[in-house]
Structure 1
Amino acid sequence: MSSPHAPTSAGPALAELPADTSVPLVDLTVGSLLGLRAEAHPDRIALIGTRHGSGEPRRLTYAELHAEACRVATALSRLAAPGDFVAMWAPNVVEWPLVQYGAALAGVTLVALNPVLRGAELEYCLRHSGATVLLHADLSRDYDMASVAKQMGATVPGLTVVSLGETPRWRADDADPAVLAAAPTDPDRPVMLQYTSGTTGRPKGVLLRHRSLVNVARLTLENVGVEPGAVCVNPLPMFHTAACVIGTLGPLWVGGTEILIEQFAPGPVLEAMRRESATVLFYVPAVLGALLEVQRTSGVPAPRLTTVLGGASNVPPSMIEAAEQVFGASVINLFGQTELAPVLTATRPGDSRADQLQTVGHPLPQVAVKITDPTTGEIVPLGVSGEICARGYQQMIEYLHDPAATAATVDAQGFVHTGDLGAMDERGYIRLTGRLKELIIRKGENIAPAEIESCLVEHEAVLEAAVFGIPDERSGEIVGAAVRVRGERPGDLRAALVAHCRERLSPFKVPERWFVTEEFPLTPTQKVQKFRIVEQATGGRLEELA
């Protein structure tokens, strides 16, 4: 591993880590990687999922998966030209990865869209991307996607709308050798457009290349020790890179099996893990927490895993320890964002206990990292919190049609500014301290919510916590906290939580206003929307503890 810059006579060591170039990148496209795996493991089960419309289970070997992808590529080549944007709007049905692989072979850029988007949101993404084709599911839970898609066909110029129920339109009976011969071979070509969560303002379109997706999936799984042939459970939404890159191309890289979960429900997922002898689980904290809660009261032996792999926000140490005890697995904490395709750092099974519980690990190979002062842009010393910035092969090509936003995010040295705050130690390990936009400034003192949230979830009564700033005339902001309670609420909850925090935190960090809620507002990728909690709290829509 590379090490940060050493101290000089001019000052302390700076939080700047050069890229570790000792591990070479692979020059593969998504389609060529699938072809290699089909050749090496034709009879191994590659994908398990449920069919669109019927919900019937489907199991595909690598040979079958590759053949299906070639048929999809052939059909897509009749609907769109190479380089066109083709949108996929569906839940986690088995057709999703089939289209993902087929689009990669056809040389079109797949636009990954959240199946809960309403008409106006969907129309914005289609118009913004310039998509020429919309592939859609007919139904997701109780959402009539077919009728919304039909409206798009009438309102978005030049858009061809195809239901996944119209199989012959998006999947040819036979693969066309000419289409496959023309499949992209340049790993720097665009392959996917991902839209950001849109927690503030319009979502931005993040354009990603083949090289980024293949190597991030590869280096993530290799660096955390996922074994060849692993059986992997993917309950994360496929429209996000955590699922369609790490949860899909990750198993592809190790020649393993992806079990794609259409609708997450803890009980059925635990049963699938047992039935298929799964060894790897991909998670975000909301998913892992739900699985642990149900397993705790199930009375059935827990499935035994080797690796529990995920992140997306600060993972409480108590959750990591519980997952280790329940599933017998190494729990890997990842950190990154869509703009980095999406993983920047990871803990490793051999890391120290402190590193596993309190950091997001070390950067993956081939990426440089620096921590900068959000105000001056200067690199901060080791151990000092600042904005995490990264530069490497995996970063986005651009924000599509938005050069101003691209320039605001990528600095003159080519580093992507993540908007996340963290501190780097002398080995290059990073500890998250919060989000730049979520910093609470109380009487001029910067307070990072993440530290307080980690403290709160250590309390036995707290299932989940969110800490945020509340506008205040005298202090500028004061610290507020909202909690989800485990089991029956104690009568003295406020006093107990205040006492708990006072034992562990500086006085100015102890929340002044306390709220309880049944559920937190979440983005589609299961991140808590702090701005909505603030609106609920200040608008009197959250129960406040007196």
Structure 2
Amino acid sequence: MSTTINNVSQLLQINSNKLSKREVIYDGYRRITYKELDEESSILAFNLIEMGVKKGDRIAICLPNWHEFVVISFAITKVGAVIVPLNINSKTELHYYLTNAEIKVAFIAKEFEKNNLWDNFHKYKQNNTLIKYLISVRFENKDSISYKELLNRKHSNEILLPKVCYNDDCVIMYTSGSTGLPKGVILTHGNLIHMCEVSIGLLDLTPEDTVLCPLPGYHIFGLHQCILVPIAAGAKIVLMEKYKPENVFQMIEKEVVTVHHAVPTMFILEINNSTLKDYNLDSLRIGITAGSKIPSNLICNIRKMLGFEVLSSYGMTETSTCLAQVRLNDSDEVKFNTMGKPVPGVRFRIIDINTRLDLGLGEIGEILVKSPGIMKGYLKMPNQTITMFTDDGWYITGDIGQIDEGGNIRITGRKKDLIIRGGYNINPTEIEDQFYTHNDILEVAVIGIDDIVLGEITCAAIRLKKGVYGKEIEFKNFIKDRLAEYKIPDKIVFLTNLPKTAVGKINKIELKNQLNNQLFKEIL
């Protein structure tokens, strides 16, 4: 992108002029061109202004991966308002999100997977005067304005769009930690634009690419890598309302998808799906995986069974996704064991967890970063924001890792995930990596369980492949020659499913809550 871009809506406008008739979105419901996306988002923007929406107002989107999600997002950026994408599975949390963000307008689906969104939003609006309008998408209700009606409204020709600048707020994305209330991460237009430029270069994206979006738009991986980046590159997006491996294969074959991003759990499900052999996936060339470390055998299986190169990427909501990424021409040693080098504009430091002093190459400590993608802060949480930065402005990731002699970033774990068993520090990722070399294991998560003697013990929760059965002693014997004795899990449990976050990552917080009481009682 050689042209100077000042706000996210210009990513679309530039390509609307150059690629007006080219298809930009297919969601299984409608095909839409760059020109149509630009025009419809402008109509929506003008009508939002007539409804009283002003620059800086916060607008919620609670929709699946529909084309309307993208139209609405660009309309909001044109108004200079702030996109607040909300998890469509939200229930009781909605009250907090809507109140904390002071939502003025909400675009909503009627329901999703038996979650009655209309009822939840309508009840909130009846008791809160701040939210002015509910806009119903793909349904109508007498107490809402329909999205279709809003697109067909005539607006005054005298309305002018406000000037939206690089450092203005663009998105507030809620992220949950292990304790406390969800935090609203404020990302600016500049944060997202810079990271779009970086990602286009790293993946060599062009208008000839078609990018699959199996990740939800209310997650930073879905919104940024699967929606904004392709549009900035002039590429096409294939939106998936709900993730299912067979639907992934169908869309790849039908739409000739070239780029497939996903979290490792999704790729595991795909290579183990019995229908994979029935589809032609030869169009795939590249993809990013993020959210958790990807085992080396999974990278090999993706190459062999899905036929493309997947690149590990390291980042988080607070950094507008990517901080480091494996490059296509990196060696397998780098691809299998690291997150690659820092992306353009990003700097890393490794410090000692206790002394906070800088460490050298190869030494393991806490990871600090500086990046143009770093968030503006947490919404209405100045104290929590301050704790995430050093006095000299470095963002504290909370991750543990090292920088090797080649400049590649190796992530060894999360500081908060560290298990302290009888005074010994145990890194769950090290144990999980060994288990993933076992052919019968589909997924595994290692967590710490409360123990009255040792403080914590290690527990491995394993999901076996379909039709496979195992005993605890078999897997302890498998692991015992691979790790020091104190790292061998004290307990191994077999589960039919591991709890997941909205984006498909294993939810260790929920897993720990699920198992803690059960196993603690057994130990007593």
Q: Please confirm whether the aligned pair reaches a TM-score higher than 0.5, indicating the same fold.
A: yes
Q: Which amino acid in structure 1 is aligned with residue 109 of structure 2?
A: A
Aligned residue number for residue 447 of structure 1: 426
The CA deviation string for residues 398-436 of structure 1, in whole angstroms up to 9 with x for no partner, is 101110000011221111111121111123211111111
Q: How far did residue 520 of structure 1 move? A: 1.2
Aligned residue number for residue 139 of structure 1: 111
- Specify which of 175, 192, 202 is matched with residue 223 of structure 1: 202
The number of aligned residues is: 514
- Specify which of 102, 105, 120 is matched with residue 130 of structure 1: 102
Q: How far did residue 481 of structure 1 move? A: 0.5
Aligned pairs for 1:356-505 within 5 A = 356-491=335-470, 493-505=471-483
Q: Where in structure 1 are there 5+ consecutive unaligned residues?
A: 1-22, 51-56
Change in CA separation of 1:383 and 1:305 when aligned onto 2, cut-off 3 Å: same
The CA deviation string for residues 336-381 of structure 1, in whole angstroms up to 9 with x for no partner, is 1000012111111100101111111111111221122233322222
**In 1, are the aligned partners of 2:217 and 2:223 still within 8 Å (CA)?**
yes
Change in CA separation of 1:474 and 1:167 when aligned onto 2, cut-off 3 Å: closer
Aligned residue number for residue 19 of structure 1: none
Q: Which amino acid in structure 1 is aligned with residue 147 of structure 2?
A: T
Aligned residue number for residue 150 of structure 1: 122
Q: Which amino acid in structure 2 is aligned with residue 98 of structure 1?
A: V
Aligned pairs for 1:3-18 within 5 A = none
Aligned residue number for residue 63 of structure 1: 35
Q: How far did residue 487 of structure 1 move? A: 2.4
Q: Does 1:526 align with 2:499?
A: no
Q: How far did residue 528 of structure 1 move? A: 2.1
Q: Which amino acid in structure 2 is aligned with residue 113 of structure 1?
A: L
Inter-partner Cα distance in structure 1 for 2:86 and 2:97? 8
Inter-partner Cα distance in structure 2 for 1:299 and 1:543? 47
Q: How far did residue 279 of structure 1 move? A: 0.3
The answer to which of 413-422 and 35-44 deviates more is 413-422
Q: How far did residue 467 of structure 1 move? A: 0.4
Inter-partner Cα distance in structure 2 for 1:229 and 1:77? 35
Q: How far did residue 198 of structure 1 move? A: 4.2
**In 2, are the aligned partners of 1:440 and 1:479 still within 8 Å (CA)?**
yes
Change in CA separation of 1:295 and 1:352 when aligned onto 2, cut-off 3 Å: farther
Inter-partner Cα distance in structure 1 for 2:433 and 2:417? 15
TM-score of the aligned structures, taking structure 2 as reference length: 0.93
TM-score of the aligned structures, taking structure 1 as reference length: 0.89
Aligned residue number for residue 10 of structure 1: none
**CA RMSD, 1 decimal:** 2.3
Aligned pairs for 1:4-153 within 5 A = 27-50=5-28, 57-79=29-51, 80-118=53-91, 120-153=92-125
**In 2, are the aligned partners of 1:138 and 1:146 still within 8 Å (CA)?**
yes
Inter-partner Cα distance in structure 2 for 1:507 and 1:97? 52
Q: Which amino acid in structure 2 is aligned with residue 182 of structure 1?
A: P
Local SS of the residue matching 1:46? strand
Local SS of the residue matching 2:103? coil
Aligned pairs for 1:321-332 within 5 A = 321-332=300-311
Q: How far did residue 507 of structure 1 move? A: 2.1
Change in CA separation of 1:413 and 1:27 when aligned onto 2, cut-off 3 Å: farther
Inter-partner Cα distance in structure 2 for 1:464 and 1:152? 39
**In 2, are the aligned partners of 1:371 and 1:423 still within 8 Å (CA)?**
yes
- Kindly report structure 1 stretches of 4+ aligned residues shifted beyond 6 Å: 541-544
Aligned pairs for 1:250-265 within 5 A = 250-265=229-244
The answer to which of 136-145 and 97-106 deviates more is 136-145
**Percent of pairs identical after alignment?**
28
Aligned residue number for residue 536 of structure 1: 514
Q: How far did residue 517 of structure 1 move? A: 0.5
Q: Does 1:517 align with 2:502?
A: no
Q: How far did residue 170 of structure 1 move? A: 4.2
Inter-partner Cα distance in structure 2 for 1:414 and 1:534? 33
- Specify which of 254, 264, 272 is matched with residue 285 of structure 1: 264
Change in CA separation of 1:299 and 1:542 when aligned onto 2, cut-off 3 Å: farther
Aligned pairs for 1:181-196 within 5 A = 181-184=161-164, 186-196=165-175
Local SS of the residue matching 1:336? strand
**In 1, are the aligned partners of 2:207 and 2:236 still within 8 Å (CA)?**
no
Change in CA separation of 1:495 and 1:368 when aligned onto 2, cut-off 3 Å: same
**In 2, are the aligned partners of 1:26 and 1:215 still within 8 Å (CA)?**
no
Aligned residue number for residue 294 of structure 1: 273
Inter-partner Cα distance in structure 1 for 2:284 and 2:319? 28
Inter-partner Cα distance in structure 1 for 2:520 and 2:47? 51
Q: Does 1:205 align with 2:178?
A: no
Q: Which amino acid in structure 2 is aligned with residue 42 of structure 1?
A: S
Q: Where in structure 2 are there 5+ consecutive unaligned residues?
A: 140-145
The CA deviation string for residues 187-234 of structure 1, in whole angstroms up to 9 with x for no partner, is 111111000034432100000001111221221231133344210100
Change in CA separation of 1:463 and 1:25 when aligned onto 2, cut-off 3 Å: farther
Aligned residue number for residue 143 of structure 2: none
Q: Which amino acid in structure 2 is aligned with residue 61 of structure 1?
A: T
Local SS of the residue matching 1:275? helix
- Specify which of 305, 311, 322 is matched with residue 343 of structure 1: 322
Local SS of the residue matching 1:294? coil
Change in CA separation of 1:296 and 1:104 when aligned onto 2, cut-off 3 Å: same
Q: How far did residue 529 of structure 1 move? A: 2.4
